[in-house]
Amino acid sequence: MNSEPPPNRLNRPVDEAYDHTLGPADAEITLVEYGSYADASSRSAHERVAELRSRFGNRMRYVFRHRPLAGSKIARRAAELVESYDDPARFWNLHVALMSRSDKLNADDLRAIISDLKLDRNKGAGQEESAATRARDRVDADIASADASGVTVTPTFFINDRRYDGPWDVRSLSEAMLGSLGHVVHAAALDFAKWAPSTGIMLLLATGLAVILSNSAFGPDFNEMWEQRLGITFHHSAFELSLRHWINDGLLVIFFLVVGLEIKREFTVGHLADRRSAMLPIAAAIGGMAAPALLYLILVPSGPPIAPGSEGTDGTWSYGWGIPMATDTAFAIALIAMMGRRVPVELRVFLTAAAIVDDIGAIIVVAIFYSGELHIGYLASAAAIAGLLALLNKGSVYRASPYVILGVALWACVYASGIHATLAGIILALFIPTRPPPNLRALMLQADAILTAETRRGREVMHYGPSEPALEALDAIHDRLESPADHMLRHLAPRSSFLVLPVFAFANAGVVVETSVFREHVPLMLGTATALVIGKPLGFITATVTAVQLGFATKPEAYSWRQLGGAGALAGIGFTMSLFIASQAFSEVSDYAAAKIAIFGGSILSAVIGVAILWNAQAEEEKIHERE
């Protein structure tokens, strides 16, 4: 549910006949720099590049491309000046002169460089105009390439076509260029994390491994492992939970904290902040929760027969109506991302926003219908802690530690109160403070002044590195760059996606496939799967059409009703949240196992149908455009 990161690959391959290069074409290392002549950082990096060329020699090819500072006329003039000459030798002479001329480039510097290098500007009017046009086009092409490659600051380096996001001192760059083990592992992990389907793949691997182990010779030991008791003992008191309960009631709080922070962001500055744009995904989510729940209650009997041949039931299956309400956003978004341009970006935004509302519904359902017996004393303690969190928020306390300490206490009280402990994550998220946007210019000037002063002091005798007051001031500036809520979301979201959810799936997705499960639970399995496969898209379409017809919402022209139906089918991928609700609904092992199989089957079928609809919807649109 996070915003898509910029691309980290070089958009335009290096062309020896077009690009400005230094070094052999077959060099094992290619370093591409997007820089600006009016940027102090690019000029400083120029010295590092010179050191790298001396160190690597013919093993390295260096390529320079333009990305003039936005809004800087002198930066643009300098870039077009060097591009107005066809001779590579003149380009590099001008390049070096501009990079090393002065701390702050100005028009006098340009005139002085032209004079010092005795550049021939006595061209005819036609030649002058042709050279200027060629220079403008070349700079524009480099800027377009920079934008497509995800360049946001200068200098930005690409090593063998992959963007380098680390520090650009010589040692760090050298390690990256040589491909040290640490850098290779780090780069591979970042590439995988930035790949949109990565979260879904991690969940799929964890689920597959759990199912394989459960049905192997290690199955009994694997299932017994999750029932091991862990806890804290103090004198004659003890607080113990099984390993599975620590994951479901403890570790999963991090996931719900992230969900709460995302809900908070969406309703303040995200896609749900504007009422008109929010109504369509809200309607879709409400319909996508109500229709599957109703269909489940219609299709699934209240429970298995109390005795063979008996018409009475024990009523346990009726508790499972919340299972098909949930949507696993990670899988749904991963499939949309894998289809690329076949799915409009607006449809991805719609499904993400609907999933946020869906999460709110799932949280409410768990809190109200799947909690145990309430204990008023602990509930009052939880309310008192929530009051303290509100006071911290009201008092503009921006340090994370007080919220973390109170959050742990809140979790303990919520767990003991009988309400599901994961609700503590949502409550905590509501009180994590946000801040007004910072004055970036003021912060940059302050940081620049501190670093400049420390650079001057660095020449003093017995002075090693930045002083402690300077580091503390830089820490304060860094903390102000984003609100505590945004900072926590940025750090916890990857851990939730790549650690918490896969561990939850590994602990809960294991199911022993036995014929007795299929024979005794057919109505439960068929009803659950049908509610996911049919109920979700039916609810999505019915609710959105109704909302548009009544004038409560408008559907963007970017996607069709058919594509919206495809998104509704993908919303039938219940998986993680459905497994979680099923674990709360069914205490009987065989009922839970049957629900798992139904969730797997319904989610897979929903994924196949959703992908088929969206894939063919694009093909139909292309045929319509061809006929027009």
Residue 123 sits in a domain of what CATH number? Answer: 3.40.30.10
**Same domain assignment for residues 471 and 495:** no
The pLDDT tens digits of the residues spanning 303-344 come to: 776 555 545 455 689 889 999 998 887 788 778 877 777 788
pLDDT value at 626 more than 50: no
> pTM of the full predicted structure?
0.70
Collapsed DSSP state (helix, strand, coil) of residue 61: strand
Please state the φ and ψ torsions of residue 151, each to the nearest 5 degrees: -80, 125
450 and 498 in one domain?
no
Higher pLDDT: 64 or 329? It is 64
Lowest mean pLDDT among 156-165, 295-304, 326-335, 459-468: 459-468
d(CA 86, CA 82): 9
What confidence tens digit (pLDDT) does each residue in 183-216 have?
566 666 666 666 667 787 888 899 899 999 999 9
- Report yes or no on 384 lying in a domain: no
DSSP collapsed to 3 states, 454-485: HHHHCCCCCCCCCCHHHHHHHHHHHHHCCCHH
| 133 within a domain of the structure (yes/no) | yes
Tokens of 561: 């009703």
pLDDT score at 316 = 83
Task: Please check whether residues 58 and 187 belong to one and the same domain.
Answer: yes
Write down the mean pLDDT value for the chain.
83
Q: Are residues 42 and 141 in the same domain?
A: yes
Q: Domain end: 428, 456, 480, which one?
A: 480
Q: Are residues 507 and 473 part of one domain?
A: no
**What does the alpha-carbon distance between residue 122 and residue 120 come to, in Å, rounded to a whole number?**
6
For residues 555 and 528, what is the distance between their CA atoms, to the nearest angstrom?
A: 30
Instruction: Choose the final residue of a domain: 163, 194, 225.
Output: 194
Instruction: Provide the pLDDT confidence category of residue 267 given band limits of 50, 70 and 90.
Output: confident
In a domain? residue 446:
yes
Does 104 share its domain with 187? yes
Q: Is residue 147 part of a domain?
A: yes
* Mean pLDDT on 270-298: 86
Provide the 10 A C-beta neighbour count for residue 605: 18
Helical H segments across 154-299, by residue range:
170-178, 181-194, 198-214, 219-225, 243-245, 252-268, 275-299
Residue 368 has pLDDT above 70, yes or no: yes
DSSP-assigned beta bridge partners for residue 66: 35
Can you tell me the distance from the alpha carbon of 22 to that of 49, in angstroms, rounded to the nearest whole number? 11
Interatomic CA distance for residues 59 and 252, integer angstroms: 49
Average pLDDT over residues 493-516: 86
Mean pLDDT of 101-123: 70
Q: Above 60 in pLDDT, residue 446?
A: yes
Domain co-membership, 271 together with 361 = yes
Q: State whether 179 and 322 are in the same domain.
A: no
Neighbours of 316 (CB within 10 A): 16
Whether 512 and 454 map to the same domain: the answer is no
Answer whether residue 28 is part of any domain: yes
Q: How many domains does the chain have?
A: 3
Torsion of CA 87, 92, 94, 98, to 10 degrees: 160
- The reply to whether 223 falls in a domain is no
For residue 324, give its domain range: 267-371+490-627
pLDDT score, position 138: 92
Same domain, 475 and 510: no
Last residue of a domain, one of 145, 161, 194: 194
Q: Is there a domain that residue 309 lies in?
A: yes
Residues 134 and 281: their CA atoms lie apart, in Å, by 48
The answer to the question of residue 470 being in a domain is yes
User: What is the reported pLDDT for 1?
Assistant: 43
Same domain, 509 and 610: yes
The encoded tokens of residue 166 equal 């680390």
pLDDT value at position 371?
Answer: 78
Looking at the predicted structure, is the pLDDT value of residue 236 above 80?
no
470 and 518 fall within a common domain: no
Give residue 306's pLDDT: 58
